[in-house]
Chains A and B, each alone.
Chain A
Amino acid sequence: MDEKILALFQLCDSNFPTGAFSHSYGLESYIQDNTVHNIDTFSEWLRVYIDEQLIYSDGLACQLVYQSLEEDDLQKVWKLDRLLTMQNLPRETREGAMRMGERMLHLVQSLYRIPVLSGYRKRIEEKQSFGHPAIVFTMVAHHLGVPNSTSILFYLYSVVSSIVQNAVRGIPLGQTAGQKLIRDVQTDLMEAVEAISNLGEEDFGIVSPGIELSQMRHERVNIRIFMS
């Protein structure tokens, strides 16, 4: 199991170049209007983002994609790719996810030979699918034989750790404060995986209206360090 976990670690590493470092998922709008300005306000934002948006979109998608791969139901995977893209109403975060998904897919393809990844890439090239990092990540985890819940946990961790690093640069926060938060939020991530295991398709894509609105407002932010 260690070698599989280690292999998945590589995808979670913040040096793994998917472009996540240039996305704030609406956080930058909060920073600019000074609602998020220190570690306390940022951790409040982060917990809302995880509990009210991430688990219902990327997190639940990880779970459903994994189950579909287990059942060899690729049509379902493609359906989830579309659902994940279309529920992402703010254009910047939607297009950002597509770009990250595609970059991750290209990179992973030079590391592994996974037939389903080639199929996914072909569909994206033919504009039948859109591409999303949660789906690419789950395809790799499933190929490696990592269990579903571990795969979800690792994926959530990779998203959250890159957001924290972006917050450290953007707010800015001290490096130590950032690392402390990554430590503290691990409990929340465990709980998030538990929460996701109790969700079904009917819960898909529930958004937190404020975070979504800030993602839309980000399009109009003039001076920016992040693309979303």
Chain B
Amino acid sequence: MGEWTGVLHLNAENRQGKTVAKNVYFQGAFKVMRPIYHDNSGRACYYLLNPGGGYLDGDRYQMKICLEENAQLTLTTQGATKVYKTPKQYAYQETEIHLQAGSYLEYFPDPLIAYQNAHYKQKNVIQMDRSATLLYSDIITPGWSPEGERFSYKTVQVLNEIYMDGELVVYDHLKLKPANQNLAGLGFMEGFTHLGSMIVVDKKINNAFLDELYYLLDQNTFDYRFGLSLLSVPGFTVRVFSNSTQDIEKVFSQIHSKISQEWYQIKPNSLRKY
């Protein structure tokens, strides 16, 4: 297919306890800032920027992230991913992530806001060693239209594939088409407007850990509704419905804090940028 609108390749390694970029390459409408070290764990935090301000008709973005042995990285965006109307060709983003032995990646992009008549497709492919750790989340908002109408986008499709030692272990596929589906209704968003998903893969996760997580989260609130379940490999997935990005972020940050404090004795910094 055609040219990329934006490309980012980032290869990071662990140099005496500190994660540093071995290679960074970006081009077009993708950019990363210099890494920030939020604490003295050596974990690098990269902010991804889209200088164009949003995805346009036919835009295609490619990201390749590789963490070498024992490298630790947080990757996030500087703001919401906005997809404007795409009258001719859908906007597309693909991400390829390689996690080598003992490496740790947190990838927490900001929410996706698809504008009226936008068609967006996203594919994340993660190849990981069984000793590596992955924390991933995404949030799909009801989008934006000038009249304030919800779910006015054409299609939002998100596919996550995770391979462990070369074998498929997670296949997570959502395709929201408001014109053909009653998105607010039964079986879809059950009356909520925002959909959050989180996937955590780590060899330390077991049923007892999931039970603790379950009781940590508020089960009786009307602000959100969640489900969590163990994967077929040590790890779990979470889905959250709510009516705001903040409610979903609150759930994810509770999970993130628990993991960071129990496993790494780190109190996570807020990644919020505003």
Q: Which residues of A contact B (CB under 8 A)?
A: 30, 35, 41, 44-45, 48-49, 52, 56, 82-83, 85-87, 89-92, 94, 203-217, 219-220
Q: How far is the CA of A215 from the CA of B230 in the complex (A)?
A: 12
- The contact sample of 22 A-B pairs, CB cut-off 8 A, is A48-B186, A48-B188, A49-B187, A52-B181, A82-B168, A85-B232, A87-B173, A89-B170, A90-B227, A90-B229, A91-B231, A205-B171, A205-B172, A206-B173, A209-B188, A210-B190, A212-B239, A214-B227, A215-B229, A216-B228, A216-B239, A220-B219
B262 contacts the other chain (Cβ, under 8 Å)?
A: no
Which residue of chain B is the closest to A52 with respect to CB atoms? B187
Q: Whole-angstrom distance from the CB of B230 to the nearest CB of chain A?
A: 5
Chain A interface mostly: helix
Q: Whole-angstrom distance from the CB of A56 to the nearest CB of chain B?
A: 8
Q: Which of A56, A203, A217 lies in contact with B227, CB distance below 8 A?
A: A217
Q: Which of A89, A210, A213, A214 lies in contact with B172, CB distance below 8 A?
A: A89
B175 contacts the other chain (Cβ, under 8 Å)?
A: yes
List B227-264 residues whose CB lies under 8 Å from chain A. 227-232, 237, 239, 241
Q: Which of A41, A205, A216 lies in contact with B173, CB distance below 8 A?
A: A205
Q: How far is the CA of A177 from the CA of B16 in the complex (A)?
A: 70
B179 contacts the other chain (Cβ, under 8 Å)?
A: no
Question: What residues of A have a CB within 8 angstroms of the CB of B10 in the complex?
Answer: none
Q: Which of B171, B214, B225, B228 lies in contact with A83, CB distance below 8 A?
A: B171
If A217-B227, A220-B214 touch, whether A210 touches B186 (CB-CB below 8 Å) is: yes
Question: What residues of B have a CB within 8 angstroms of the CB of A215 in the complex?
Answer: 227, 229
Q: Whole-angstrom distance from the CB of B26 to the nearest CB of chain A?
A: 28
List B199-219 residues whose CB lies under 8 Å from chain A. 214, 219
Q: Whole-angstrom distance from the CB of B90 to the nearest CB of chain A?
A: 13
Interface residues on B, range: 20 to 34
> Which of A44, A209, A211 has the largest number of chain B CB atoms within 10 A?
A209
Q: How far is the CA of A56 from the CA of B187 in the complex (A)?
A: 15
In the complex, the answer to whether B231 meets A89 with C-beta atoms within 8 Å is yes
B195 contacts the other chain (Cβ, under 8 Å)?
A: yes
Q: How far is the CA of A85 from the CA of B232 in the complex (A)?
A: 9
Which residue of chain A is the closest to B161 with respect to CB atoms? A86
Q: How far is the CA of A83 from the CA of B168 in the complex (A)?
A: 7
Which residue of chain A is the closest to B190 with respect to CB atoms? A210
In the complex, the answer to whether A86 meets B170 with C-beta atoms within 8 Å is yes
Q: How far is the CA of A191 from the CA of B19 in the complex (A)?
A: 54
Question: What residues of A have a CB within 8 angstroms of the CB of B225 in the complex?
Answer: 213, 217
Question: What residues of B have a CB within 8 angstroms of the CB of A204 in the complex?
Answer: 171, 173
If A45-B186, A86-B232, A91-B230 touch, whether A213 touches B170 (CB-CB below 8 Å) is: no
Q: How far is the CA of A82 from the CA of B167 in the complex (A)?
A: 9
Which residue of chain A is the closest to B197 with respect to CB atoms? A209
B174 contacts the other chain (Cβ, under 8 Å)?
A: yes
B169 contacts the other chain (Cβ, under 8 Å)?
A: yes
Q: Whole-angstrom distance from the CB of B73 to the nearest CB of chain A?
A: 25
In the complex, the answer to whether B174 meets A207 with C-beta atoms within 8 Å is yes
In the complex, the answer to whether A208 meets B187 with C-beta atoms within 8 Å is yes
Q: A87-B172, A210-B241, A217-B227 are in contact. List 10 more A-B contacts (CB 8 A).
A: A48-B187, A86-B169, A86-B171, A87-B173, A90-B227, A204-B171, A206-B174, A208-B187, A208-B188, A217-B225
Q: How far is the CA of A211 from the CA of B227 in the complex (A)?
A: 11
Q: How far is the CA of A209 from the CA of B237 in the complex (A)?
A: 13
